[in-house]
Structure 1
Amino acid sequence: MKTALVTGGSSGIGRCTAAALRNAGFAVYEFSRRDAPQDGIKHISVDVTDEDAVQKAVEKIISEAGGIDVVVNCAGFGISGAVEFTPLDQAKAQFDVNFFGTVNVNKAVLPFMREARKGHIINISSVAAAAHIPFQAFYSASKAAISSYSCALDNEVKPYGIQVTTVEQGDIHTGFTQARQKVIVGDKEYCGRISRSVSQMEKDEQNGASPEVIGAYIAKIAEKKCKPICVAGAQYKFLSLLCKLLPCGLRGKIVGAIYAK
């Protein structure tokens, strides 16, 4: 039986991905800070920003299961607000979880995958990596970092039978919206644009795809040869392509018309 590790597995996309991988026949372990039990899924309490804790937890899985075939890095959260008014410690925390949490997990599993000469690492990014959402600058930057890092890592480890895939997703209807850390300081100075932008974001998210759909998509590609970047959802594939083809100035005008009015 193949073994999968999912981070952020207590809720949202991580929880649904863990369930989908279990249903596909994997032995599934999930990392999260709180335990939200699911049948057939083994929980390990881990904060992905704690490198030592991640290392010990990965070693525990290896000792029990003999290896890890698939890793899905779903752990993350969002912040919003104007760059000018976002506390630096909050911006750093965004990167510590979204980006360096992913780095910690991958760093721990790579020696075992390299020795086994197989493995698939799936890092969860966002179309915000290409769309650059105003008033979500640090979230967008953390996801752009994941996409860039993943493409570079894929080339580093390809000779050892390991593939790295980034899943760039769009709006998903999960508890992520309620959990977002919102900084509305400066809304007066920005003429109400911060609150209007965040309100539009949240409306789009509430009308987004279900996490079960994304979880099933991730489980499906887990056992396939994939491109380094996979965009989930036909409309987001088009949006991602458009963002990459349009001149930066024009792309900025279109995104700004939606999220910076």
Structure 2
Amino acid sequence: MCVDVTDEASVQEAVGQILLERGSIEILVNCAGFGISGAVEFTESEQAKAQFNVNFFGTVNVSRAVLPSMRRQHRGHIVNISSVAAVAHIPFQAFYSASKAAVSSYSCALDNEVSPYGVRVTAVELGDIHTGFIQARQKTVLGDDEYGGRISHSVSQMEKDELSGMSPEVIGTYIARIAQKKNCAPICVAGVKYKILRFLCKILPCTLRGKIVGSIYAK
């Protein structure tokens, strides 16, 4: 079944069909998403809105569709795929980072709303994964001359990191294990390296954190 997560009617129809055939939905994993890269100044508004429509509002649409049945059956687990970019705030991936920060914040708030009904919500923040995400990313180097070549350099560094990232099989197993947990933290981070990164991003002063991330992705 193919569903456009940005189309609320399509999502509602698909969820209704699954409930009709299966009777219940125990686990939902919201993993639809894509990335855009480029300078904020040169990113078209429609492209930025499309980023949020898929990464954030797509998650909202599907979650909203399954929540009534989960709440009535008094059980269910919604797992939303986020990113450590939610706290690392990657330059030249500002809209991607912002969309994932929205997913993480939304997940924590929603978990508080629905946990009294036996429904849990978890945002899984991922780091670099070796998948087809590189090919799917919408890249623009508009303004690269004005930014001293930093846009193209940043994207090149991102892609190098992703190519050496964790395998999708390992991440898939991790997400499956999280999804089957009855009691789970609202935020989970895959991989020791990224757990440390998230911890440092939370405790370091904003200026120092910015300098560290900038030295990698904005120099």
2:91 to 112, 131, 134: 134
Matched, 1:69 2:26: yes
Task: Write the letter of the residue equivalent to 1:160.
Answer: Y
**Greater RCO, CA 8 A, separation 6+:** 2
Shift in Å at residue 221 of structure 1? 1.4
Q: 1:191 aligns with which of 134, 139, 148?
A: 148
Matched, 1:208 2:165: yes
In structure 2, what is the equivalent of residue 238 of structure 1?
196
- 1:37 maps to none
Shift of residue 200 of structure 1?
0.1
| 1:219 Cα deviation from its structure 2 partner | 0.6
Deviations 1:192-218 (A, max 9, x none): 000000000000000000111110001
Determine which of 106, 119, 134 is the counterpart of 1:149.
106
Once residues 101 and 197 of structure 1 are traced to their aligned partners in structure 2, the CA distance between those partners, rounded to angstroms, is 27
SS in 2 for 1:45: coil
TM-score, normalised on structure 1?
Answer: 0.83
Report deviation, 1:183: 1.1
Letter aligned with residue 119 of structure 2: I
Match of residue 174 from structure 2: 217
Partner Cα separation in structure 2 for residue 211 and residue 252 of structure 1: 29
Unaligned runs of 5+ in 2: none
Q: Describe the SS at the equivalent of 1:76.
A: coil
List structure 1 segments (4+ residues) > 2 angstroms apart after TM superposition.
none
Separation in 1, partners of 2:211, 2:171: 29
Residue pairs, 1:154-169, within 5 angstroms: 154-169=111-126
* Equivalent of residue 249 in structure 1, options 207, 215, 218: 207
Q: Secondary structure at the match of 1:189?
A: coil
Unaligned stretches of 5+ residues in structure 1: 1-43
Aligned pairs (5 A) from 1:99-110: 99-110=56-67
Alpha-carbon separation, structure 2, partners of 1:154 and 1:62: 22
Quote the offset at 1:144 in angstroms.
0.1
Q: Please state whether the residue corresponding to 2:148 is helix, strand or coil.
A: coil
Q: Give the aligned residue type for 1:260.
A: A
Structure 2 match to 1:174: 131
Q: Secondary structure at the match of 1:253?
A: helix
1:45 Cα offset (Å): 1.0
Q: Give 1 or 2: higher strand fraction.
A: 1
Q: C-alpha separation between the residues in 1 aligned to 2:162 and 2:143?
A: 24
Say what the alpha-carbon RMSD is for the aligned residues.
Answer: 0.4
- 1:98 matched to 2:55: yes
1:83 to 13, 28, 40: 40
Residue by residue, what CA displacement relative to the aligned partner does 1:6-34 show, whole Å, maximum 9, x if unpaired?
A: xxxxxxxxxxxxxxxxxxxxxxxxxxxxx
Kindly indicate which of the two structures has a greater share of residues assigned to helix.
2
- Deviation for aligned residue 1:85: 0.1
The CA distance in 2 between the partners of 1:98 and 1:126, in whole Å, is 11
For normalisation by structure 2, the TM-score amounts to: 0.99
What is the DSSP-based 3-state SS (H/G/I as helix, E as strand, rest coil) of the residue aligned with 1:167?
strand
- Partner Cα separation in structure 2 for residue 53 and residue 184 of structure 1: 34
